[in-house]
């Protein structure tokens, strides 16, 4: 089971960071390099409990779609989004926000995912996705941290 965690310092209070992480347009802007766009569900504004969004993006020269639902929501401390449809066998992304004591936020992303296709999927997870997926999350987080300054 591939699992990784990314911790990012953001110079904004947890409430603002929480809201920014649920903003569909902020997400698509942070993923501009992969031409990501929202094509279904809530395509603008902020997500909340039960909302779905379908993103379409290009990775590895192919166009992919992933539909995620917000399945847990505890503002401004945490929320979870899970894949309902898409390329993964499993995708569970937990987002945590803690005050850093200086007015900023420690943002922690915990991602648990698995590719389909049995042995071939496990090979893809271990050889490609274990470095590619954290890079995407770091790119998103860097964009958000800069936008929230």
CA atoms within 13 A on the CB side of 80: 11
Q: Is 79 exposed, middle or buried (0-12, 13-18, 19+ CB in 10 A)?
A: buried
- Distance separating alpha carbons of residues 65 and 70, to the nearest angstrom: 17
Q: Tell whether the model's pLDDT for residue 1 goes beyond 80.
A: no
pLDDT recorded at residue 14? 98
94: containing domain: 3-147
- Distance separating alpha carbons of residues 21 and 90, to the nearest angstrom: 21
pLDDT tens digits along 81-115: 999 999 999 999 999 999 999 999 999 999 999 99
CATH code, domain with 134: 3.30.530.20
pLDDT recorded at residue 18? 98
pTM attached to this predicted model: 0.94
User: Under a CB-based contact definition with an 8 Å cutoff, are residues 57 and 36 in contact?
Assistant: yes
Q: Tell whether the model's pLDDT for residue 78 goes beyond 90.
A: yes
Q: Tell whether the model's pLDDT for residue 11 goes beyond 90.
A: yes
Average pLDDT of the chain to the nearest whole number: 95
How far, rounded to the nearest angstrom, does the alpha carbon of residue 131 sit from its chain's CA centroid? 15
Compute the average pLDDT of residues 50-59. 97
Compute the average pLDDT of residues 66-91. 97
Tell me the percentage of the chain whose pLDDT exceeds 70.
99
Q: Tell whether the model's pLDDT for residue 71 goes beyond 90.
A: yes
Q: How many residues are present in the chain?
A: 149
User: How many structural domains comprise the chain?
Assistant: 1
* Measured CA distances, 113 to 98, 99, 102, 106 (Å): 24, 27, 33, 23
pLDDT tens digits along 103-147: 999 999 999 999 998 998 888 888 889 899 999 999 999 999 999
């Amino acid at each position: 089971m591939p699992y990784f965690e990314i911790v990012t310092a953001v110079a904004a209070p947890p409430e603002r960071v929480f809201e920014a992480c649920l903003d569909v347009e902020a997400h698509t802007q942070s993923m501009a390099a992969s031409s990501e766009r929202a094509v279904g569900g809530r395509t603008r504004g902020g997500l909340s409990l039960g909302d779905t969004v379908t993103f379409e993006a290009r990775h590895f020269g192919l166009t992919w779609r992933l539909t995620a639902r917000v399945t847990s929501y505890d503002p401004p401390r945490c929320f979870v989004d899970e894949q309902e449809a898409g390329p993964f066998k499993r995708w569970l992304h937990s987002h945590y926000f803690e005050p850093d004591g200086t007015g900023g936020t420690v943002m922690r992303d915990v991602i648990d995912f698995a590719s389909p296709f049995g042995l071939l999927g496990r090979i893809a997870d271990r050889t490609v996705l274990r470095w590619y997926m954290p890079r995407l999350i770091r790119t998103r987080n860097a964009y958000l941290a800069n936008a929230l300054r």
